[in-house]
A and B are shown apart, each in its own frame.
Chain A
Amino acid sequence: MSDRIADPWGSRTPYGPPAVVERLAASLPGRLKDVLPGDLGRRSPWPVRVDTFLQEGIGEQDVDAWVQAASIMHSNGDAMDIAVKDGRIVGVRGRAGDRVNHGRLDPKDLYGWQANNSPDRLTRPLIRGCGGELVETDWDTAMNLIVAKSKELLDGPGGWGHFGFHTSGQLFLEEYYTLGVIGKAGIGTPHMDGNTRLCTATAAAALKASFGTDGQPGSYTDVDHCDAIALWGHNVAETQTVLWARMLDRRRGPRPPAMLAVDPRETPVAREADVHLAIRSGTNMALMNALIHVLIDKGWYDERYVRAHTLGFGELQRTVAECTPEWAAQICDVPVRLIEQAAELLGSCDRLLSTVLQGFYQSNQATAAACQVNNIHLLRGMLGRPGAGLYQMNGQPTAQNTREAGANGDLPGMRNWDNPEHIRRLAELWNVDPSVIPHWAPPTHAMQVFRYAEQGSIKLLWVSATNPAVSLPDLARIRRILAGDELFLVVQDLFLTETARFADVVLPAATWGEKQGTFTSVDRTVHLADKAVEPPGEARPDLDIFLDYARRMDFRDKDGAPLIKWHDPESAFEAWKACSAGRPCDYTGITYEKLRGESGVQWPCTPGAPRGTERLYTGGRFNTDPGYCETYGHDLLTGAEYSEEQYRAKEPGGRAFLQAAPYQPSPEVPGQEYPLLLTTGRTVYHFHTRTKTGRAPQLNDAAPEPWVELSPGDASAMGVSEGDTVRVESPRGALEARARVCGTRPGVVFVPFHYGYWDRDDSGPGDGTARAANELTITSWDPVSKQPLYKVAAVRVSKVAGADGALSAAPTVGAAAPHDPRVPRTAGGPAAEASEAFERPGDGGPGVQERSGLRRDPGDRERFTPRDRVPRRTEEE
């Protein structure tokens, strides 16, 4: 048994890269792979380890049914089966045959399902009573209220502009697509976005800017093949634990990949890496330009690839000409030597895998910096072959799908709002007039939606499956907007969140395990999640809620038929397939039946490529043709949009763009009054605003309260030690929490962003002490991706009270690992014991997928306690 609170990553199963013949086979196009014997070219040598956690007193033999699903507690897309007994969820087990996780699960999956069974789930709709309090009602009353308000607002010119939709990264593809059609063709509003703006907008923007459309080039199997891994602002150990387990297994096996980490904090990734650049927050672009300067200066780039497959080398070269490592070392405040070592690591490897996340996406010059990672891969010809991979990572589990299906700031099927032909195609598909579909400008981004609500022109805001009252920057302002008298707020959620407390109508939703649908991981693997149990009370699947709204609104196409022509998840999926046809995210070869096989399937999957597509851009041809691309591009410094004519003049012809921009300082830098830099982020035990993880006892107990991470030097200068209560203030607000003195870089303060006020039964701090990180953050965003800057607020810290023997609630696992060795180790104890089952050596051969089609019995696996862990490689080796 394994305590997965104490060890979130579980036992090591070290492995080495596949043999050369496997790599050659893996680099063949799918059609050729299909004729190879024994799944050659599709196998992964990563050993299977099946993680299981069941409710106390329940054994595998007691389970009535195992129902297929995948994770919505993080963005890795780990496949699992839900254990059901007597109509209740009683546990989960990783799916051994799935290409993403080979049986492993994240602690948030192992324990997080318990939130489904929470006694405080919403079970009936709520509306405002006469006294202004929320009272229970029936669905008809609640929906009729929303519909009456909607019809009143739609009446008259510009009625569409009174509607805003703010959705999530946790719904299913079918739900996003339905919501997208309701908004874009039913109401005709561009004001549709969501929480994914906070987590994944930069990934999408950078992919579009470099490669022409959204869509991740890489595959998770690139971890198997690579000889170097670069992690750009990505604490993967805490955000996607299973992907980190795969990387660690490579690092402990033969011929391990080199590792580079860029992060101001001493995360588990930073501790593992061969080179760690703890740069000053907000200076990513200076570092990236210096790294590219060295690659070009030393000739460490693939001149032939650059000439044949890219545009913009000259401008990039000019832009970085003066950006020496010495120059960047001053700005980033790291030793020149480390920048040079990093450049050498990047310039000398043969198969580079990069992964990028919030350290870039939520920081200064987000899109520009993320594009530089793309540039490194383009310069070195490191795309489209095994091991040469790139993940512009998603922050949330189904973020990929809202981008594909167009419930956020994108158009369905990765279409270009500025291309009339793309709009015509959507209009044809939905049988509406093209003028109904808003395309005079890009869809309105989330922060602008809230600004319109603040100014009163958006009068109905519909929030589904997310919690902006905790997740958006500058919460005092957001609470003011949500509480506005003129705003009719609809909130659709599982619980009475901070946001729901402001609502005029609250709709109780079903969640994962209680409804059916598909979603897609960062490496384009599509999974099906089936319904395992009934939702509590009158709670309904989000899809049913949207369909019901469309029916009551009586949205029609131009022939008078209902606009929405589907009625359940599978028919919605079929409708989506038609929309995806011919676009990069082509789902036309996928069916629910196919997804019920052993493993998820990677898009594009068409009748011609029925087993999906492992890597994009294998031939160095990109999606940049003017008629196909998703954007005509932006100026990276201002976000100014280029026109179709300007784009065509570049004659991209399937080549990728090397995007260049000079470094510019953050809009907010430390000064005398606020001398420190605040960075916020996720930690391993929690997701989003803790609505689920805060209700799973093992996860909550591991980190029940927020904390403030300080470097030892800063702490001692302020006279602060472990457990003291400190006050963190920014020009926007303040919070108080206990200090954790740990390995963050001097001058940087970290506060986890998960904590709000629902567990104090409130929507905000009220008269009590504030504790949400976003009380402090600045309202500002990247000019291209419009992703808010959560990582660069100027703050000051002061001591409020001594610890008096108390410790901070910070875990000892992850980046918060304390400087003080006396802090007791975080552990979950007997309540957190999960099992790990391993394939017997030799029973599965080198791969898992080789056994595809076989249903495995749990008894097929051998239980064992991990033997001696393989010792960690030291720097001397």
Chain B
Amino acid sequence: MHLAHYLGLLHRSQIELAGALREIGEHHRDEPDVHHVCERLAAQCDDHAGRLEPFVRRYSEEAPQEPERLHSTLFSGTRSGGLGLLRDLHDLYLMAAECDISWTLIGQAAQGARDTGLLEVVSRCESETATQMTWLSTRMKQAAPQALVVAS
């Protein structure tokens, strides 16, 4: 059973997203909404990771060796300025999308595994991840015209 690998993937993605939210939020302190919301969303990601942990442990006992190239790196540092902010939020969006589709797939697998406990975690967390993506998209859509057309 390979569920453990996908759980591990999502667990790691959530932790990396939390880290990126904190780093980007801190770097863009002069955008207070980005700073404060990123901080809150990072805490949400930590919570998601915490809820996943017992399942990661449980399923890893029955897992074969982890395949290669399961995980890909989506964030490699912050940028500055209006364009930089847009690109950083863009990174966060892609990382949240990685989590979002993982939740969907793990939800599918949880049904196959008849694991109601895991399903509960998925249904609770996946809507928060979806809202994170909506917020990122909202914020980027507002910023894009000024950053891409107006600013010199």
Interface of A toward B, CB cutoff 8 Å? 157-158, 160-162, 440-442, 444, 447-448, 451-452, 454-457, 635, 637-642, 664, 667, 778-781, 783
B150 at the interface (CB under 8 A from A): yes
Give, as a whole number of angstroms, the nearest-CB distance from B86 to chain A: 12
User: What is the CA–CA distance of A781 and B31 in the complex, to the nearest angstrom?
Assistant: 11
Whether the pair A161, B150 counts as a contact (CB closer than 8 A) is: yes
User: What is the CA–CA distance of A451 and B81 in the complex, to the nearest angstrom?
Assistant: 12
Give, as a whole number of angstroms, the nearest-CB distance from A456 to chain B: 8
Q: A455-B82, A457-B146 are in contact. Are A635 and B131 (CB under 8 A)?
A: yes
Q: A780-B36, A783-B37 are in contact. Are A635 and B142 (CB under 8 A)?
A: no
Question: Within residues 90 to 145 of chain B, which ones have a CB less than 8 A from any CB in chain A?
Answer: 131-132, 134-135, 137-138, 141-142, 145
User: What is the CA–CA distance of A216 and B152 in the complex, to the nearest angstrom?
Assistant: 43
B62 at the interface (CB under 8 A from A): no
Kindly identify which residue among A637, A640, A667 contacts B138, using a CB–CB cutoff of 8 Å.
A640
Residue numbers in B under 8 Å from A780 (CB-CB): 32-33, 36
| Chain A to chain B contacts (Cβ below 8 Å), 26 pairs | A158-B145, A161-B150, A440-B145, A441-B142, A441-B145, A447-B32, A448-B142, A452-B146, A454-B30, A455-B81, A455-B82, A457-B82, A457-B150, A637-B131, A638-B37, A638-B131, A638-B132, A639-B135, A639-B138, A640-B131, A640-B132, A640-B134, A642-B134, A664-B40, A780-B36, A781-B32
User: What is the CA–CA distance of A779 and B39 in the complex, to the nearest angstrom?
Assistant: 16
Place the interface of chain B in its size category.
Answer: 20 to 34
Kindly identify which residue among A442, A454, A457, A783 contacts B142, using a CB–CB cutoff of 8 Å.
A442
Residue numbers in A under 8 Å from B30 (CB-CB): 451, 454
Complex: chain A residue closest to B134, CB-CB: A640
**DSSP majority for the B interface?**
helix
Whether the pair B40, A635 counts as a contact (CB closer than 8 A) is: no
User: What is the CA–CA distance of A805 and B81 in the complex, to the nearest angstrom?
Assistant: 53
Residue numbers in A under 8 Å from B146 (CB-CB): 161, 452, 457
Given contacts A158-B145, A442-B142, 19 further A-B contacts (CB under 8 A): A158-B149, A158-B150, A441-B145, A447-B32, A451-B31, A452-B146, A455-B82, A456-B152, A637-B131, A640-B131, A640-B135, A641-B134, A641-B138, A642-B134, A667-B36, A780-B32, A780-B33, A781-B32, A781-B33
Give, as a whole number of angstroms, the nearest-CB distance from B125 to chain A: 15
Most A C-beta atoms less than 10 A away, residue of B138, B145, B146, B151? B146
B41 at the interface (CB under 8 A from A): yes
Residue numbers in A under 8 Å from B81 (CB-CB): 455
Residue numbers in B under 8 Å from A451 (CB-CB): 30-31
Most B C-beta atoms less than 10 A away, residue of A160, A441, A639, A778? A441
User: What is the CA–CA distance of A456 and B131 in the complex, to the nearest angstrom?
Assistant: 31
Interface of B toward A, CB cutoff 8 Å? 30-33, 36-37, 39-41, 81-82, 131-132, 134-135, 137-138, 141-142, 145-146, 149-152
Residue numbers in A under 8 Å from B31 (CB-CB): 451
Q: A457-B82, A640-B138 are in contact. Are A157 and B32 (CB under 8 A)?
A: no
Give, as a whole number of angstroms, the nearest-CB distance from A55 to chain B: 47
Give, as a whole number of angstroms, the nearest-CB distance from A155 to chain B: 13
Give, as a whole number of angstroms, the nearest-CB distance from A300 to chain B: 30
> Which 7 pairs across A and B sit closest by C-beta, in order of nearness?
A161-B150, A640-B135, A640-B134, A158-B149, A638-B135, A158-B150, A457-B151
Whether the pair A783, B82 counts as a contact (CB closer than 8 A) is: no
User: What is the CA–CA distance of A639 and B137 in the complex, to the nearest angstrom?
Assistant: 11
Residue numbers in A under 8 Å from B141 (CB-CB): 440-441
User: What is the CA–CA distance of A161 and B134 in the complex, to the nearest angstrom?
Assistant: 25
Whether the pair A783, B33 counts as a contact (CB closer than 8 A) is: yes
**DSSP majority for the A interface?**
loop
Whether the pair A638, B82 counts as a contact (CB closer than 8 A) is: no
Residue numbers in B under 8 Å from A635 (CB-CB): 131, 134-135
Q: A158-B149, A161-B149, A642-B134 are in contact. Are A637 and B40 (CB under 8 A)?
A: yes
Residue numbers in A under 8 Å from B33 (CB-CB): 639, 780-781, 783
User: What is the CA–CA distance of A457 and B83 in the complex, to the nearest angstrom?
Assistant: 12
Residue numbers in B under 8 Å from A639 (CB-CB): 33, 37, 135, 138
User: What is the CA–CA distance of A380 and B152 in the complex, to the nearest angstrom?
Assistant: 54
User: What is the CA–CA distance of A149 and B81 in the complex, to the nearest angstrom?
Assistant: 25
Residue numbers in A under 8 Å from B142 (CB-CB): 441-442, 444, 448
User: What is the CA–CA distance of A637 and B82 in the complex, to the nearest angstrom?
Assistant: 24
Residue numbers in A under 8 Å from B152 (CB-CB): 456-457
User: What is the CA–CA distance of A195 and B30 in the complex, to the nearest angstrom?
Assistant: 21
Residue numbers in B under 8 Å from A157 (CB-CB): 149
Give, as a whole number of angstroms, the nearest-CB distance from B22 to chain A: 14
Residue numbers in B under 8 Å from A447 (CB-CB): 32
Residue numbers in A under 8 Å from B145 (CB-CB): 158, 161, 440-441
Give, as a whole number of angstroms, the nearest-CB distance from B129 to chain A: 12
Residue numbers in A under 8 Å from B132 (CB-CB): 638, 640
User: What is the CA–CA distance of A451 and B132 in the complex, to the nearest angstrom?
Assistant: 23
Give, as a whole number of angstroms, the nearest-CB distance from B147 to chain A: 8
Residue numbers in A under 8 Å from B39 (CB-CB): 667
User: What is the CA–CA distance of A667 and B38 in the complex, to the nearest angstrom?
Assistant: 11
Complex: chain A residue closest to B37, CB-CB: A638
Give, as a whole number of angstroms, the nearest-CB distance from A845 to chain B: 55
User: What is the CA–CA distance of A456 and B150 in the complex, to the nearest angstrom?
Assistant: 10
Complex: chain B residue closest to A452, CB-CB: B146
Give, as a whole number of angstroms, the nearest-CB distance from B39 to chain A: 8
User: What is the CA–CA distance of A353 and B60 in the complex, to the nearest angstrom?
Assistant: 59
User: What is the CA–CA distance of A780 and B38 in the complex, to the nearest angstrom?
Assistant: 13
Most A C-beta atoms less than 10 A away, residue of B31, B131, B134, B137? B134
Give, as a whole number of angstroms, the nearest-CB distance from A20 to chain B: 49
User: What is the CA–CA distance of A34 and B130 in the complex, to the nearest angstrom?
Assistant: 52
Complex: chain B residue closest to A666, CB-CB: B36
Residue numbers in A under 8 Å from B36 (CB-CB): 667, 780
Residue numbers in A under 8 Å from B134 (CB-CB): 635, 638, 640-642
Complex: chain A residue closest to B39, CB-CB: A667
Give, as a whole number of angstroms, the nearest-CB distance from B149 to chain A: 4
Complex: chain A residue closest to B147, CB-CB: A457
User: What is the CA–CA distance of A486 and B18 in the complex, to the nearest angstrom?
Assistant: 37
Kindly identify which residue among A638, A667, A778, A779 contacts B41, using a CB–CB cutoff of 8 Å.
A638
User: What is the CA–CA distance of A162 and B146 in the complex, to the nearest angstrom?
Assistant: 9
Give, as a whole number of angstroms, the nearest-CB distance from A775 to chain B: 17
User: What is the CA–CA distance of A272 and B152 in the complex, to the nearest angstrom?
Assistant: 57
User: What is the CA–CA distance of A455 and B152 in the complex, to the nearest angstrom?
Assistant: 10
Give, as a whole number of angstroms, the nearest-CB distance from B85 to chain A: 10
Residue numbers in B under 8 Å from A452 (CB-CB): 146
Residue numbers in A under 8 Å from B32 (CB-CB): 447, 667, 778-781
Residue numbers in A under 8 Å from B41 (CB-CB): 638
User: What is the CA–CA distance of A779 and B36 in the complex, to the nearest angstrom?
Assistant: 11
Kindly identify which residue among B137, B138, B150 contacts A162, using a CB–CB cutoff of 8 Å.
B150
Residue numbers in B under 8 Å from A637 (CB-CB): 40, 131
User: What is the CA–CA distance of A783 and B149 in the complex, to the nearest angstrom?
Assistant: 25
User: What is the CA–CA distance of A185 and B102 in the complex, to the nearest angstrom?
Assistant: 45
User: What is the CA–CA distance of A361 and B142 in the complex, to the nearest angstrom?
Assistant: 23
Residue numbers in B under 8 Å from A778 (CB-CB): 32
User: What is the CA–CA distance of A160 and B146 in the complex, to the nearest angstrom?
Assistant: 10
User: What is the CA–CA distance of A642 and B134 in the complex, to the nearest angstrom?
Assistant: 8
Residue numbers in A under 8 Å from B151 (CB-CB): 161, 455-457
Give, as a whole number of angstroms, the nearest-CB distance from A374 to chain B: 22
Residue numbers in A under 8 Å from B135 (CB-CB): 635, 638-640
User: What is the CA–CA distance of A440 and B138 in the complex, to the nearest angstrom?
Assistant: 11
Give, as a whole number of angstroms, the nearest-CB distance from A770 to chain B: 22
Give, as a whole number of angstroms, the nearest-CB distance from B100 to chain A: 14
Complex: chain B residue closest to A634, CB-CB: B138
Complex: chain B residue closest to A447, CB-CB: B32
Most A C-beta atoms less than 10 A away, residue of B132, B142, B150, B151? B150
